[in-house]
């Protein structure tokens, strides 16, 4: 099962403080993904968009890790690099094999990657574009089983039926085409497809963003239930902080291709250490009109920095309200401020930042 990669780097046996070794399912080290900017007739490369620029994090077995940030922060790109939907520009993605060995997925060829593709699956954002309109549900959900020679014929049909039943769809509908289903039902089909091969890690990229409020709650509950049932590990990519808070155990906050903060969910929301996280939390509208007066909303100036031409020093400094001279000169490292709580800010210890306090019950 273990792939023979000639140029894959060895997984360091003693972690550099980022991970406790055994139950780390995925360890991302210095991941980089740059997209070339081309110009002219010969498509000469004139620059790079640093979509993901040197990020490191790990995912523990059975946990849900949130990747959160605004559009263009690289959260989706990071998720796709882990699945090797993109080739890496630099860095390593270590994934724990069935026999406990850490394998670097980065340099694997498509053939070598095959066994891992069963274990790493994805749920997409848009339930309308991510399902082939010309394929009936049985093919959409069943093709991964057929291609990987897991099941065929009657057995395949049974497995698809039980998968559909598990995600809350009626198995009788398996001959129907995607257009016959509503948005929430399509997302359930997408989830069934992702689960068909008993994956170990599922990357959910904005899996509930396109859904209506009442349906979103159903799908979030389903995602949580399935995790318990199949012992799944999720990387949950989202821009919606309230969804992240609800579903994630730990959160990675990204800004312009870099990680600015990593912490356990409760800690991050209660006591952020990076000014960007504070601003992000404060920008979320609170669905309680009585909180309107009490809240001191931080409104950031300007727009998200251009990842092709990022500012000097800390990328966030032009918009930061605590900015000092050092910020535009030195790039801050991601440092451990409190146990398990990392932030990339020069003044993380000195600043007193506001988190989110719970408001009263509604309704």
Partner 1 sequence: MESPVLIEIKNLKTHFFLDEGTVQAVNGVDFTIHQHKTLCVVGESGCGKSVTARSILQIVDQPGRIVEGEILYHRPFRLSAAGNGEWTSGETGANGNSTTEIIDLAALDPRGREIRAIRGQDISMIFQEPMTSLSPIHTVGNQITEAIKLHTDMLDDEADEHAVELLRRVGIPRPEERLGTYPFELSGGMRQRVMIAMALSCNPALLIADEPTTAVDVTTQAQILELLEELQDEYGMAIMLITHDLGVVAEMADDVVVMYLGQVAERGDVDSIFHDPKHPYTQSLLKSIPRLGVSRNRQRLDSIRGMVPDPYNRPSGCMFGPRCDHFMPGRCDAISPPAIPLGPGREVHCLLYEDE
Chain residues that interact with partner 1, rule: CB under 8 A: 70-71, 182, 184-185, 212-218, 220-221, 224, 239-243, 245-246, 265-266, 269, 279-292, 297-300, 303-304, 356-359, 361-363
Name which of 147 and 284 has its Cβ closer to partner 1: 284
Phi-psi bin for 337: left (phi > 0), alpha (psi -120 to 50), beta? alpha
Nearest-approach distance from CB 181 to partner 1, in angstroms: 10
Beta bridge partners of 67: 237, 252
DSSP 184: H
Nearest-approach distance from CB 304 to partner 1, in angstroms: 7
**Strand 24-39 relative to strand 44-60, pairing:** antiparallel
For residues 341 and 89, what is the distance between their CA atoms, to the nearest angstrom? 27
Picking from 343, 310, 311, the residue whose alpha carbon sits closest to that of residue 327 is: 311
Q: Which two tokens stand for residue 180?
A: 């016959």
Quick count: other Cβ atoms within 10 Å of Cβ 218?
Answer: 16
Nearest-approach distance from CB 295 to partner 1, in angstroms: 9
Nearest-approach distance from CB 254 to partner 1, in angstroms: 13
Nearest-approach distance from CB 283 to partner 1, in angstroms: 4
For residues 168 and 39, what is the distance between their CA atoms, to the nearest angstrom? 49
Nearest-approach distance from CB 106 to partner 1, in angstroms: 30
For residues 182 and 111, what is the distance between their CA atoms, to the nearest angstrom? 36
Name which of 95 and 316 has its Cβ closer to partner 1: 316
Q: Are 163 and 196 in contact (CB under 8 A)?
A: yes
Nearest-approach distance from CB 89 to partner 1, in angstroms: 25
Name which of 14 and 71 has its Cβ closer to partner 1: 71
Nearest-approach distance from CB 129 to partner 1, in angstroms: 16
For residues 293 and 277, what is the distance between their CA atoms, to the nearest angstrom? 22
For residues 47 and 74, what is the distance between their CA atoms, to the nearest angstrom? 17
For residues 303 and 209, what is the distance between their CA atoms, to the nearest angstrom? 22
Number of H helices, E strands in the chain: 10, 12
What's the N-to-C CA distance of the chain in angstroms? 54
Picking from 239, 201, 271, the residue whose alpha carbon sits closest to that of residue 66 is: 239
Nearest-approach distance from CB 331 to partner 1, in angstroms: 22
Q: Which two tokens stand for residue 67?
A: 């990747």
Nearest-approach distance from CB 259 to partner 1, in angstroms: 18
- Rounded (5°) CA angle 304-310-312: 120
Taking each helix axis as running N to C, give the angle between helix 183-195 and helix 137-147, from 0 to 180 degrees, rounded to the nearest 10. Answer: 10
Name which of 216 and 346 has its Cβ closer to partner 1: 216
DSSP 285: P
């Amino acid at each position: 099962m273990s792939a023979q990669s000639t140029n894959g780097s060895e997984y360091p046996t003693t972690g550099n403080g980022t991970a406790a070794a055994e139950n780390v399912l995925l360890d991302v080290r210095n991941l980089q993904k740059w997209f070339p900017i081309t110009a002219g007739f010969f498509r000469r490369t004139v620059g790079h968009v640093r979509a993901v620029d040197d990020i490191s994090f790990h995912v523990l077995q059975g946990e849900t890790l949130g990747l959160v940030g605004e559009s263009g922060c690289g959260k989706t790109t990071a998720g796709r690099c882990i699945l090797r939907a993109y080739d890496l520009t630099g860095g390593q993605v270590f994934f724990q094999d069935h026999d406990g060995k850490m394998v670097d997925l980065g340099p694997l060829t498509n053939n070598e990657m095959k066994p891992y593709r069963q274990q790493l699956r994805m749920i997409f954002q848009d339930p309308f574009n991510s399902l082939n309109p010309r394929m009936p549900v049985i093919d959409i959900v069943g093709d991964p089983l057929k291609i990987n020679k897991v099941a065929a014929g009657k057995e395949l049909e049974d497995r698809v039926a039980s998968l559909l039943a598990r995600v809350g769809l009626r198995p009788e509908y398996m001959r129907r085409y995607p257009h016959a289903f509503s948005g929430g039902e399509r997302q359930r089909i997408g989830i069934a497809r992702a689960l068909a091969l008993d994956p170990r890690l599922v990357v959910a990229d904005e899996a509930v963003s396109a859904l209506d409020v009442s349906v979103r709650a159903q799908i979030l509950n389903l995602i949580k239930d399935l995790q318990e049932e199949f012992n799944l590990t999720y990387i949950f990519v989202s821009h919606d902080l309230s969804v992240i808070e609800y579903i994630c155990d730990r959160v990675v906050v990204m800004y312009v291709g870099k990680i600015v903060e990593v912490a356990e969910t409760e800690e991050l929301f209660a006591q952020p250490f990076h000014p960007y996280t504070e601003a992000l939390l404060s920008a979320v509208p609170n669905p309680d009109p009585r909180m309107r007066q009490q809240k001191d909303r931080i409104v950031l100036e300007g727009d998200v920095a251009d990842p092709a031409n990022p500012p000097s020093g800390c990328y966030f400094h032009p918009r930061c309200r605590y900015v000092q001279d050092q910020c535009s000169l030195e790039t801050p490292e991601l440092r451990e401020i409190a146990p398990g709580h990392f932030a990339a800010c020069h003044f993380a210890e000195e600043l007193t930042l506001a988190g989110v306090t719970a408001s009263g019950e509604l309704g």
